[in-house]
Structure 1
Amino acid sequence: MLVRDAMSTLVLTIGPAHTLREAARLMSARRVGAAVVLDPDTYGLGILTERDILDAVGAGQDPDRETAHGHTTTDVVFATPEWTLEEAAAAMARGEFRHLIVLDRSEAVGVVSVRDIIRCWLPARRRAQAAVSA
């Protein structure tokens, strides 16, 4: 199974000036755990995750004053739609993160999360177990 089969094509893109509260509100409304941060003036694509927001709030930072720019991961590992789910899971395990931005020709076309991979693997595993039992 490939990343394209599991990824969400709903890509929330925000700018570096969005406050953490604005980012959290948008992520919650779209029911996603990460936002792609697009900053063409500096580092290009980065990612802001629910964990980044949680860490900032837990450290006592004001979500109405802190911006995405200060909490964005910019040394991002990107996947392609043609990666296998095993390749994506291995990259996540190595980097100790839960989301990958999926690029196709330098364009963000999706985000794949650990949850997305599990959702694909569980039905496949059930089918394989049923075939063995039959």
Structure 2
Amino acid sequence: MLVRDAMSTVVLTIGPDHTLRQAAALMSARRVGAAVVHDPDAGGIGILTERDILNSVALGQSPDTEHAHAHTTTDVVFAAPSWTVEEAARAMAHGGFRHLIVLEHGEPAGIVSVRDIIRCWAPTRQHAARVPA
């Protein structure tokens, strides 16, 4: 199976000046665990994940005053839609992250997450198994 078949095409893109609270609200509303951070002044694409926001809050930083650019990963590993999900899983395991931005023609086309890969590999549950009492 290829990344294009597994990726989510719902790509939340935010600016570097969004506060972490704004980013979290948008991520929650879209039901995604990461946002692409596009910074035209810095000339690049980064990623802000739910873990980045969690780490900031755990340090006692205010989500109302902290901005995305201060917590964005900018040395991003990108995937291609033509990668296999095995290649994506290897990249995630090697890099220690759970999301890959999928680029097509230099633009974000989607995001593939560990959850997306698990959905590809795990059989669909038809009915929850009943455990005898």
- Residue 112 of structure 1 corresponds to 112
- Residue 132 of structure 1 corresponds to none
Structure 1 unmatched ranges of 5 or more? 127-134
How many residues matched?
Answer: 125
Runs (4+) of structure 1 exceeding 4 A deviation are none
TM-score by length of 2: 0.92
- Residue 56 of structure 2 corresponds to 56
Give, in whole Å, the separation in 1 of the partners of 2:85 and 2:43: 27
- Residue 70 of structure 1 corresponds to 70
* SS class of match (1:10): coil
| TM-fit CA distance, 1:107 | 0.6
Q: 1:10-36: per-residue Cα shift (whole Å, max 9, x none)?
A: 000000000000000000000000000
- Residue 12 of structure 1 corresponds to 12
* SS class of match (1:123): coil
User: How much identity, in percent, do the aligned residues show?
Assistant: 76
- Residue 38 of structure 2 corresponds to 38
Give, in whole Å, the separation in 2 of the partners of 1:38 and 1:98: 19
- Residue 47 of structure 1 corresponds to 47
CA contact (8 A) 1:43 1:74 kept: no
Give, in whole Å, the separation in 1 of the partners of 2:115 and 2:46: 20
| TM-fit CA distance, 1:44 | 1.0
- Residue 87 of structure 1 corresponds to 87
CA contact (8 A) 1:46 1:73 kept: yes
TM-score by length of 1: 0.91
Structure 2 unmatched ranges of 5 or more? 126-133
Q: 1:30-68: per-residue Cα shift (whole Å, max 9, x none)?
A: 000000000011041000000000000000000000000
- Give the CA RMSD over aligned residues: 1.2
* SS class of match (1:57): helix
- Residue 131 of structure 2 corresponds to none
Give, in whole Å, the separation in 2 of the partners of 1:77 and 1:89: 12
Give, in whole Å, the separation in 1 of the partners of 2:63 and 2:123: 39
Give, in whole Å, the separation in 1 of the partners of 2:99 and 2:67: 20
One-letter code of the match for 2:20? Answer: L
One-letter code of the match for 2:82? Answer: E
